[in-house]
Structure 1
Amino acid sequence: MASRLALSLVIGGAVASSVGAAFKTVENGIQKLEAKGNRAKVLKSTIGETIKLREEWKRAHDSGAAGADKLLRKLDSNLDALRKQGVEVGRLSREYQRLGREAKSADLQLKGHQQLQAGKASLKSNIGQAVVATGMAAVPTMISANYQAVIRDIAIKADIVNKPEERQLTRTVIDTAKDTGMSRNDVADLVNQLVGAGMELDKALSYAPVAAKFAIGQGSSGVDTASMIQALQQNAKINDPKVMQQALEAIAYQGQAGSFEASDMAKWFPQLLAGMEKNGITGLDAVTSLGSMLQVQMKTAGSSDEAANNFKNWMEKIGAGDVVKAYKDAGIDYQSSLNTGLQKGMNVIEASMALAMKYVEATDPAKAKKIEAAKAKIDKEVDPEKAKAALDALEKTLRTGDIFADMQVKAALTAYGQNRGLYEELKADSQKASGILDKNLAERRETSAQQWAETVQAADDAMRSIGDA
């Protein structure tokens, strides 16, 4: 009985120590979140006022009413102030929505931190009793056994049982868990999935830290993240850990620049990268093209699954017999035209989309002119409602028969036709993305939910150490 009590006290001390570490940054976190939320709210309010000012000035200017100059001076003053705060004044509507999300996120995190702080004293006073009640020797022993079972499973697959590499595997998994906030067993499961799919153990371990960083920072599951990394290696032919990190940075960047989130990309990339490979698109180009295209598809889709399926259907149509015939009937040599696009630096997906617009021009010149006029109007429009109306008009204009009769294929073309400029911008920017994974990981680990999870994980690892002993 005495030994059990001593063991429980050791566990209790380890857990209490972990709890103290988890809480030490809470007060600073509250102050930072208050400042962040207040700044976002002020900027959001200023943007709203600026949008209204722009509308009032335009009405006054167009009608020749008095006071237009005064409104213009105030508008310019607001725009200058917003520029100094890093706001993209050419995209006020998008910035307004972004800051709204940022303010809401800060408020939710702040509430969580306050609740965390309120529970601190109670948790510290009761944790010892809870551990004494439940922390008998069987608990840490079972935790240790479960973890060792996963490690041994990996070791068997990699043929390193009872070798120094097995001990190094254990050390790498534990270190990765501590560095990223992912649970120890989840890190081990991630590595196990990569090795189980045929990846060499040393390569899987080299990917583990960045994979865990992505999963926690982007809110993706370890299983989806591992599947995506497998696809990036097998289909996109990315084998260098540095390029793999660059690819994950690009995916994280795109997930925040649009509505198709990085966690959804982790879910869909394995399937869609296979289609990209089939069309000869690999490497970082496959990653940036696919991610940007999915963001563009979200502009006309109701969900990420619908957006992904629309694009999937488009890829499946490339080079199909009925498509080639339809182009031929319109006087267009499909393969030759695709090759021309490739020679201009496009990939097959981009060339197929551009060729589709050429098909519309050949079969209905009047419609093609309407499309170009509608796209120009959309690019210049700042009023969200008017832009939406213009988008709806373009969607109707693009409703052709023939090869675009399929609803999903038509939706894919419509989305690209409306947002070709956004696609090119996202692709170029994502190729240069850097530091997103570290930034998002740090932000995620500031949240109360993640801190609670890491507190539990720290206690669990303390008991694993005792169980090992």
Structure 2
Amino acid sequence: NLDSLRKQGIEVGRLDRAYQMLGRTARQADLKAQGHAQINEGRASVKSAVGRAAVGAAALAVPTKVSADYNAIIRDIAIKAGIANAPEEKQMSRTIIDTSRDTGMARNEVATVVNELVGAGMDLAKALEYAPVAAKFVIGQGSDGGETAKMINALGQNAKITSAKEMQQALEAIAFQGQAGSFEASDMAKWFPELLANMGKLGITGMDAVTQLGAMLQVQMKTAGSSDEAANNLKNWMDKISSSQTVDAYGKAGIDYEASMQTGIQQGMSTLESSMALAKKYIEQTDPKRAAKMAEATAQISKESNPEKAKAMMASLEQALRTGDIFSDMQVKAALTAYMQNKELYGQLKRESREASGILDKNLAERRETSSQKWKEMAQSMDDAMRSVGDAIRPITDGVAEGLTSVAKGITSLSDRTPGLAMGLTVLAGGALTLQGLLGSFKIGKGLFSLARGAMGGRDAKGVQKVFVTNAGDDDKEGGKGSKV
């Protein structure tokens, strides 16, 4: 048998060594495979730990940020109102949250409206009382929260509207007029603050200021190309009413301006309405024929259904008003033209808007039925849930923030004084790893060690190794035994 093996080229004396080499090769492969598996397991463990830590941090960061942003607005209001850290601050926050839930207006937007009102000098209690009706107007009329707050402030300061009931009535009237004409309620919120100031200078306040201004803006839209143009035309008219140039022009025409204005007021007209009536009288007195043509043209324009013809007739009427004196200003002339053409509409809108009620609730309900608003409120409810969680954990997160701030300041101070400690501090900071992260790192190290052992033939890096030396001359001896060293 041995001869047969030798004839086939097999060195029987070396079989034992071959078996040993085969064993070592298998062991190397096994260790390398084990090393790769350990490294992959450790890497996955570390990645999982870091991932979970990141997700956990993000989960805490979101509600913390939402709560902090809202709390910043609340504190700003509280500081202005002098109730910071007082029980009233929490009650204010609760009122704002409830208003948001009941009206569908975003919580921070409600808080911003209250902040605008308080910032303009309004008492906090009154601002909170106005918040629900303001929110109804914003959502129902598609208005801007900031502009609505400015309008409410103007209604209080310039129109002298001071009760919640009258404020709601005023906003109902504005909403009604916005739907009755083409000068929308959201545009009124933009222009009312400035124009109400002019009305106040004319002595027109209360609901009279609201109904007359709203109706007049609707009338102005009949001859203007945009809401801004209509508002500017009316603004220029009011600016010119009592100017010295206007008074002089009336005097030259033989009209006592002050006495005539007073007569109009005694007949139940406001200063604004009296100024329009006096302008008509001025034209009639200075040019009776032109005044007659103007009256005829106005009547025809009101009946004309063809927009192009009405436009041409309007241009003709505007030309008729060019007297070369107080009505030479295009914007002033346009304001007068619009009023004279639509005087009946003005009276109707003024009367009906005063009696308007239920518009705000109706429009709010209609707006909240839309899919768009439903999705907005869904997002707002999620945001408020985050706010609630953030409020609950705020003592902890605030404590962490304070602690980290102290640590950071301490590190800065130590590092500035002893730069050599910076490296040690950085190493110590690594100790913040989670236990799972450390175990993962250990597994990676273990895997690397296994790979190293595999590369060394399955032997340990240290220690005495057994070595077999085979004498070349013993190949022909039976068994092929070598000498063990």
TM-score of the two chains, using structure 1 as the length reference: 0.70
- Structure 1 residue 396: deviation in Å? 2.9
Give the counterpart of 1:314 among 237, 253, 277. Answer: 237
- For 1:252 and 1:258, locate their aligned partners in 2 and report how far apart those are by CA, in whole Å: 10
- Structure 1 residue 383: deviation in Å? 4.6
1:228 matched residue in structure 2: 151
2:412 matched residue in structure 1: none
Q: Is the CA contact 1:394–1:418 (under 8 Å) kept in the aligned structure 2?
A: no
2:136 matched residue in structure 1: 213
- For 1:133 and 1:396, locate their aligned partners in 2 and report how far apart those are by CA, in whole Å: 74
Q: Is the CA contact 2:318–2:333 (under 8 Å) kept in the aligned structure 1?
A: no
Structure-to-structure mapping, 1:172-321, within 5 angstroms: 172-321=95-244
- For 1:404 and 1:393, locate their aligned partners in 2 and report how far apart those are by CA, in whole Å: 15
Matched, 1:428 2:347: no
1:393 matched residue in structure 2: 316
Give SS of 1:311's match: helix
Most deviating of 430-439 and 372-381: 372-381
Q: Is the CA contact 2:233–2:332 (under 8 Å) kept in the aligned structure 1?
A: yes
Distance of aligned partners of 1:384 and 1:302 in 2 relative to their CA distance in 1, 3 Å threshold: closer
- For 1:362 and 1:207, locate their aligned partners in 2 and report how far apart those are by CA, in whole Å: 49
- For 2:58 and 2:289, locate their aligned partners in 1 and report how far apart those are by CA, in whole Å: 77
- For 1:148 and 1:350, locate their aligned partners in 2 and report how far apart those are by CA, in whole Å: 48
Equivalent AA in structure 1 for residue 234 of structure 2: F
- Structure 1 residue 276: deviation in Å? 0.4
Equivalent AA in structure 1 for residue 180 of structure 2: A
Deviation digits for residues 36-71 of structure 1, max 9, x if unmatched?
xxxxxxxxxxxxxxxxxxxxxxxxxxxxxxxxxxxx
Equivalent AA in structure 2 for residue 394 of structure 1: L
Give the counterpart of 1:348 among 271, 274, 281. Answer: 271
Specify the structure having the higher radius of gyration (Cα). 2
| Unmatched tracts of structure 1, length 5 or more | 1-131
Higher relative contact order (CA closer than 8 Å, sequence separation 6+): 2
Distance of aligned partners of 1:134 and 1:251 in 2 relative to their CA distance in 1, 3 Å threshold: farther
- Structure 1 residue 339: deviation in Å? 0.4
- For 2:242 and 2:194, locate their aligned partners in 1 and report how far apart those are by CA, in whole Å: 19
- For 2:215 and 2:180, locate their aligned partners in 1 and report how far apart those are by CA, in whole Å: 9
1:63 matched residue in structure 2: none
- Structure 1 residue 384: deviation in Å? 4.5
Matched, 1:412 2:412: no
Matched, 1:455 2:378: yes
- Structure 1 residue 135: deviation in Å? 5.9
Give SS of 1:402's match: coil
Equivalent AA in structure 2 for residue 226 of structure 1: A
RMSD of Structure 2 on Structure 1 (CA): 1.7
- For 1:134 and 1:222, locate their aligned partners in 2 and report how far apart those are by CA, in whole Å: 34
Equivalent AA in structure 2 for residue 346 of structure 1: M
Deviation digits for residues 243-302 of structure 1, max 9, x if unmatched?
000000011111111111111110111111110000100000001111111111111111
Deviation digits for residues 154-186 of structure 1, max 9, x if unmatched?
111111122221111011100110111110000
- Structure 1 residue 194: deviation in Å? 0.7
- For 1:396 and 1:173, locate their aligned partners in 2 and report how far apart those are by CA, in whole Å: 55
Quote the sequence identity (%): 69
- Structure 1 residue 412: deviation in Å? 0.8
- For 1:307 and 1:461, locate their aligned partners in 2 and report how far apart those are by CA, in whole Å: 41
Deviation digits for residues 389-439 of structure 1, max 9, x if unmatched?
443433332233211011111111111111111111111111111111111
Structure-to-structure mapping, 1:116-131, within 5 angstroms: none
Q: Is the CA contact 1:220–1:263 (under 8 Å) kept in the aligned structure 2?
A: yes
Deviation digits for residues 188-241 of structure 1, max 9, x if unmatched?
011011111111100000000000110111111110000000000000000011
1:18 matched residue in structure 2: none
- Structure 1 residue 325: deviation in Å? 1.0
1:3 matched residue in structure 2: none
- Structure 1 residue 455: deviation in Å? 1.1
1:99 matched residue in structure 2: none
Q: Is the CA contact 2:302–2:341 (under 8 Å) kept in the aligned structure 1?
A: no
Equivalent AA in structure 1 for residue 86 of structure 2: K
Larger proportion of helix: 1
Aligned residues: 339
| Unmatched tracts of structure 2, length 5 or more | 1-54, 393-485
